[in-house]
Amino acid sequence: MKVLVIGKGGREHALAWKLSLSPRAKAVFCAPGNPGTASIGTNVPIASDDIKGLVEFAKAENIGLTVVGPEDSLALGVVDAFKKEGLRIFGPSKMAARLESSKAFAKAVMHDANVPTADFKICDHPDQAKTWIATRRYPLVVKADGLAAGKGVIVCSTQEEALKAVERIMVKEEFGRAAGRQVVLEKRMAGQELSLLSIVSGRTIIPLEPCQDHKAIFDNDLGPNTGGMGAYCPAPLGTKEILDQIDTEVLVPTVHAMKRRRMPFHGILYAGIMVTSQGPRVLEFNCRMGDPETQPLMMRLKTDLLDLLDAAVDNRLDEFEGKIDWDPRPAVCVILAAKGYPGTIEKNSPITGLHEASKLKDVQVFHAGTRFDSRNIVTDGGRVLGVTALGDDMVAARAKAYEAVNLIKFNGMQYRTDIGLKALSPLPFPTKDSSIDEDVDLKM
Q: Give me the residues that bind ligand GLY (CB under 6 A), please.
A: 150, 213, 228, 286, 290-291, 293
| Smallest separation, CB 284 to ligand GLY (Å) | 8
Alpha helices in 227-289 (DSSP H): 240-246, 252-260
**280 phi/psi in degrees, rounded to 5:** -75, 140
CB contact at 8 A, 152 and 227? no
Angle at which helix 305-313 crosses helix 10-20, to 10 degrees, equals: 100
Burial class (CB in 10 A: 0-12, 13-18, 19+), 437: exposed
312 vs 102: CA distance, rounded Å: 25
| Smallest separation, CB 232 to ligand GLY (Å) | 12
| Smallest separation, CB 293 to ligand GLY (Å) | 6
- Half-sphere CA count of 198, side-chain side, radius 13 A: 28
Nearer to ligand GLY by Cβ, of 110 and 407: the residue is: 110
| Smallest separation, CB 16 to ligand GLY (Å) | 17
CB contact at 8 A, 34 and 48? no
| Smallest separation, CB 279 to ligand GLY (Å) | 22
| Smallest separation, CB 319 to ligand GLY (Å) | 28
Closest among 226, 235, 212 to 341, alpha carbons compared: 226
CB contact at 8 A, 151 and 175? yes
Nearer to ligand GLY by Cβ, of 64 and 381: the residue is: 381
Nearer to ligand GLY by Cβ, of 145 and 293: the residue is: 293
154 vs 166: CA distance, rounded Å: 9
| Smallest separation, CB 51 to ligand GLY (Å) | 21
Closest among 294, 308, 293 to 201, alpha carbons compared: 308
Q: Is 417 left (phi over 0), alpha (psi -120 to 50) or beta?
A: alpha
Nearer to ligand GLY by Cβ, of 249 and 293: the residue is: 293
| Smallest separation, CB 139 to ligand GLY (Å) | 22
Nearer to ligand GLY by Cβ, of 10 and 36: the residue is: 10
Nearer to ligand GLY by Cβ, of 22 and 198: the residue is: 198
How many other CB atoms sit within 10 Å of the CB of residue 310?
Answer: 20
Closest among 59, 7, 109, 88 to 367, alpha carbons compared: 7
| Smallest separation, CB 285 to ligand GLY (Å) | 10
Nearer to ligand GLY by Cβ, of 249 and 291: the residue is: 291
68 vs 4: CA distance, rounded Å: 8
| Smallest separation, CB 214 to ligand GLY (Å) | 9
CB within 8 Å of 201: residues ≥ 6 apart: 266, 311, 312, 313, 315, 317
CB contact at 8 A, 61 and 31? no
Nearer to ligand GLY by Cβ, of 186 and 291: the residue is: 291
Continuous segment of H or E residues that includes residue 358? helix 354-358
Nearer to ligand GLY by Cβ, of 35 and 290: the residue is: 290
CB contact at 8 A, 380 and 347? yes
Nearer to ligand GLY by Cβ, of 129 and 387: the residue is: 387
